[in-house]
Structure formats: C-alpha cells, structure tokens
Amino acid sequence: MEYWIIVDNRHAGPYSAEQLLDAGLTADTLVWHEGLTAWVRAGEVGELAAGLERQHMTDSERQAESFAEERDDVATAEAYKSDNRQADACVAEETQCVEPCPPAYIAWSVIVTVLCCTIIGIPAIIFSSMTKSAYYKGDIAKARRYSETAQWFIIASIVLGVIGVPFQMALMGLL
C-alpha cells in the first residue's frame, strides 16, 4: 500500500511501508492512505504499527542514514529527521498547522446538479470530489485547481439556470 505523511507541515508521498519504516517513522507521525477519511497516527495503521513493533529497538539515526542511501540524497535524511520532529509537534497541536483544504463546494455542486442543470452540475460534483482526494494525497496545488474548476462549473450552472427562467416563461406562454 502507498502512504502519504505529514512532515514539516507539508504532505509528502507516496512511500511504501518499507521506505517509511527504514526512514525512522515514529508511531506519532500522521499518515494517510487511499480509503482513509482523515490523517491518523502511524501507530494506528495495522501494517505500519506491526513494522514499528518489529524494529522497536533499532537506532533511528542509522535508519535515517539508510533512508538517505535509498533516496541517494544525504540532505533528505537530515531534513527528514527534523521533519519528523516537526510532525510530532503537529500531532501535539491537533494537526492545526496542516494547511486547510481548499473549498470543495460539495453542497453547492449537489444543489446545482439537482435543481439547476444536471449536465453542468455533474462535472462540478466530480471536481468537488477530486479536490478532496487530491488534498488528502497531499497535492495542494492540484486540489486548489480542482476547487477553482468546481467553482466555475457551479457559477456557470447558476447563471444558465437564472438566464433560462425568462426563456422558459416565454416558451410556456407560446406553447
């Protein structure tokens, strides 16, 4: 399974369980994988918790070095070690330091789909959904773009709906 983690207030990933464990993952680091609805502590994820249990006695410094070899980048290991501490601080503050999700306009897109314009509302729902998925995967830039796209579909739907009303009235008068 692929995991995303929060380090230094940023999302990073995807990593395999082996990569994370080799890099000295702590039980308090926040992780996410496909299917989860929120970030959870690594100690609460079955596969990672089992791995942490196994390497309970290993030296985290050495683990960080092996992470560097794997990534071919010594600086990464140094950054990762400090990131780990940051992530732990994050947990202490109830994850408030994580960047909030851009607005997904879920309620809006459902309302316009049902009430105004199905054809334009459905893409709005799809982009709302993709905003959330991208955010949980840690791709904030993509989430922002999807959020904006959803917004435009909603605006277009409402505008068409409002413009349509006089036309409908005229048509009903004629028909």
Partner 1 sequence: MLRCPLKWATGLSCPGCGSQRALAALAEGDLAGAVRVNYILPAVGLYLALLGAGWVFGDNGAMGRLYRRLTSGSAVMAVGVAIIIWMVVRNLAGL
Q: Is 128 in the site for partner 1 (CB under 8 A)?
A: yes
Determine which residue in the list 71, 132, 144, 145 makes contact with partner 1, applying CB under 8 A: 132
Under the criterion CB under 8 A, does residue 159 sit at the interface with partner 1? no
Task: Name the minimum Å distance from CB 114 to partner 1.
Answer: 4
What is the spatial distance between Cα 104 and Cα 132, in angstroms, rounded to a whole number?
7
CA of residue 70 relative to chain centroid, distance:
25
- Strand 40-41 relative to strand 30-32: parallel, antiparallel, unpaired? antiparallel
How many CA atoms, within 13 angstroms, populate the side-chain half-sphere of residue 70? 15
DSSP lists the bridge partners of residue 41 as 30
Minimal distance, residue 171 CB to partner 1, in Å:
7
- Give, as ranges, the residues between 28 and 67 that touch partner 1 (CB under 8 A): 35, 37-38
The one among 49, 97, 111, 155 contacting partner 1 by CB under 8 A: 111
Cis status, amide bond into 14, omega within 30 of 0 = yes
In this structure, the strands spanning 2-7 and 10-16 are: antiparallel
Residue 36's CB: how many other CB atoms inside 10 A? Answer: 14
Residue 141 CA to residue 144 CA, distance in Å, equals: 5
Sole window of 12-20, 62-70, 77-85, 120-128 interacting with partner 1 (rule: CB under 8 A): 120-128
Closer to partner 1 by Cβ: residue 43 or 103 = 103
Q: Which stretch binds partner 1 (CB under 8 A): 14-22, 68-76, 82-90, 121-129?
A: 121-129
Which residue's CB is nearer to partner 1, number 38 or number 141? 38
Q: How many CA atoms lie within 13 A of 22 on its CB side?
A: 13
What would the two tokens of residue 101 be? Answer: 């999700």
Does residue 140 bind partner 1 (CB under 8 A)? no
- Contacts to partner 1 by CB under 8 A: 35, 37-38, 104, 106-107, 110-111, 113-119, 122, 125-126, 128-134, 136, 164-165, 167-169, 171-172
